[in-house]
Amino acid sequence: MIKKDRLVENFLDMVKISSPSKNERAMGDYLLKILKELGLEVREDNAGEVNGGNCGNIIGILRAPGKKRLLFSAHMDTVVPCEKVVPVIENDIIKSDGTSILGGDDKGGIAAIIEMLRVIKENNLDHPEIVVVFSMGEEIGLLGSKSFDINSYGVDFGFILDSSGKPGKIITKAPSAARGKITIIGKPAHAGISPENGINALTVAAHAITKIKLGRIDAETTSNIGVVKGGQATNIVMPSIELDYEARSLSNEKLNTLINETFDIFQKVCNEFGAILENNVKIEYPGFSLEDCEEIVKIVKTACEKVGIKSETASSGGGSDTNIYNSKGVKSVNLAVGMTKVHTLEEYIEIKDLVDLSKILVEIVKG
């Protein structure tokens, strides 16, 4: 039932549409048109307005009164560079020409959802009530899903299409994440005339960094300082420094312990040097954990079995809209799309994976 050429053509059309975070308008208009043509009830919420973007979440509903209501979701935004994507097909693999990302993250997920809807309509398949959400601002903090009022739609289960790996991989566990800035305020002084009168913020940060835990803490927990900003000139004792920090863990207890330990160390070192510590690190999104015996997991595994695709459950080190929907009380899983080397110029996706994912979605709705 899956029409491979149509699926690929749709995917190619979408990756050519530039849609960086908070600038998804062109992509949103494209999807509004398709969903309307397919006969769904279509609307756009105010997530763009709330988050400073030019497009809200695009929502479509395919009615089936009295039946279970399933959510299928993928995000519209991509990382940069995505201004002029030129897709290339070689040996049944789609990639960019090397000057940009491809955008399979997450337009591969969107393409599979659209193909699923087309198969339902043209084959007049019996189906549950379907809510489709194409979210904005996922790449910069899951903004669209945080703003989406999922509880007003009465969704029973959510299937989010936003994981790397081969179709059949089911993400049932993902970490909580904390993120923000740690700022150390020292004291400026002339570096050549009176450095002893200053407090070098970099020195303070360096002493603290040697004491905190960074990198892989254990199998469930990571910690990282990814961006450092500070200084004015070489002849000025650095007056302040700003560290972009994040920590993740599948265990909320471990995450809270790590964050508290990190802040305590920074505060102690700042006190020793007479510097001031400011931090706005906070929980950005909660984690989730589903057991293999859950009904939603069984639904996906059964669908995979029907189309001859091996399924497996796995945990992820990254966050997605799945985290947010689970935190709002809707049991959701993140399904692998097949996208590979995402967020790089070497990103690619196999056509077979797009087809296999679409097959899985059709079987999920057929039940």
Q: At what angle do helices 252-273 and 201-209 cross, to 10 degrees?
A: 140
Q: Which helix (H) or strand (E) holds 7?
A: helix 4-15
Cβ-based neighbours of 180, under 8 Å, separated by 6 or more: 244, 245, 246, 279, 280, 281, 282
Distance CA 34, CA 170 (A): 28
CA distances from 9 to 112, 133, 345 (A): 12, 21, 21
Which two three-digit tokens encode residue 139? 């790449």
Distance CA 209, CA 205 (A): 6
Distance CA 171, CA 326 (A): 12
Instruction: Note whether 101 and 78 are within 8 A (CB).
Output: yes
Instruction: Note whether 335 and 161 are within 8 A (CB).
Output: yes
Active site residue ranges: 77, 138
How remote is the C-alpha of 309 from its chain's centroid? Answer: 25
CA-based angle 46:328:357, to the nearest 5? 85
Distance CA 58, CA 75 (A): 10
